[in-house]
Amino acid sequence: MAVAEGVDGTKRRHRGERSGFSLRTLGRRLGAVGFVAALAVALVAVASPTPALAADMTLSISPAATTVASNTATTYTLTYSCSNGAGSCLNSVVTIPTGTVTGNGGNTDFAAWVTSGTCPAVNKTVAGQVSFNLGTLGTSTNTCTFTVRPPEYTTLNNATATITPTLSSSNSTSAAAAAATLTVTAGHNNSLGNSIPAKSISGNTVNYVITYNCGLNVKSYTGDIGISGITITSTLPANFDYQSASLSAGIPGTVSYNAATRVLTYSDPTGKSCGNPR
């Protein structure tokens, strides 16, 4: 406590000055408004947002664009990397939406076309997508492969699948690859032929064979579209009488013969003999 003399000669007592002040002192000096302002500043500082995860994963797919005949497998390569500060990307998964087929009638999902190559086993438990569980990735760049094979007969000409993989992790931001496209070619590449021995003896049985190939390449059957039904007719040569007919094992349909017109008819109204897609 100090005593000082004022300009009017009177003596007053006052406390010595002190540096600094507490929040309580600030409240006394600034009043209620100043106290609320100071408290608001403190609360804003506490509520600052958490920094976003760094972009530390990459993913690409190749080839970018492919055109193939149906029933032809295309091998795709995924190239992926992790480079986060934690030293690893945990629970890493590549996910590919599969409901992206256009130009294929009502068949818009290509999940059934996908099989694993060197990638982990393909997961198809979630409708409309396939995924590959990569697990924990170290800070490195890796590759794996998978195949896509559009089925024979049921895939229409110019059907196109858009393949867009995304790589995600529990401790990193996700990365999406630029989309790849797979375009399918197919057509009614069927052919019809017949054969009969060049010579025969009167009274003996002769085998007359009619062959219908349901594809351009009868060994691999690629690039073909199924048919909705098939009817084949053939008029028997003169001086030959019809005895019986049989179908190759597993071929559906029926064979009939009209003796008046000498016409042999094979009929498969379902088209199953040539892969009817319905």
Kindly give the pairing relationship between strand 101-102 and strand 160-163: antiparallel
Integer-rounded Cα Rg, in Å, for the chain is: 40
Q: What is the spatial distance between Cα 271 and Cα 226, in angstroms, rounded to a whole number? A: 7
Residues in the chain: 278
Query: What are the strands, taking DSSP E only, across 209-261?
Result: 209-213, 230-235, 254-258
The residue behind tokens 């001086």 is: 239
Residue 126, pLDDT score: 97
Amino acid code (one letter) for 2: A
Q: What is the spatial distance between Cα 97 and Cα 129, in angstroms, rounded to a whole number? A: 4
Residue 37, pLDDT score: 41
Residue 112, pLDDT score: 97
Residue 219, pLDDT score: 61
Domains and CATH numbers, the chain: 23-51 (no CATH), 57-185 (2.60.40.740), 191-274 (no CATH)
Residue 203, pLDDT score: 85
DSSP state of 53: P
Residue 216, pLDDT score: 62
For 196, the token pair is 């009969």
Predicted TM-score (pTM) of this structure:
0.69
Q: Where are the alpha helices (DSSP H) in the chain?
A: 23-46
Residue 166, pLDDT score: 98
pLDDT (tens place) for every residue of the chain, 278 residues total: 444 444 444 444 444 444 443 434 333 444 444 444 444 444 444 444 544 455 589 999 999 999 999 999 999 999 999 998 888 999 999 999 999 999 999 999 999 999 999 999 999 999 999 999 999 999 889 999 999 999 988 899 999 999 999 999 999 999 999 999 999 999 887 888 889 888 888 888 889 999 888 776 556 678 888 888 899 999 988 888 899 998 887 788 999 999 999 999 999 988 877 765 54
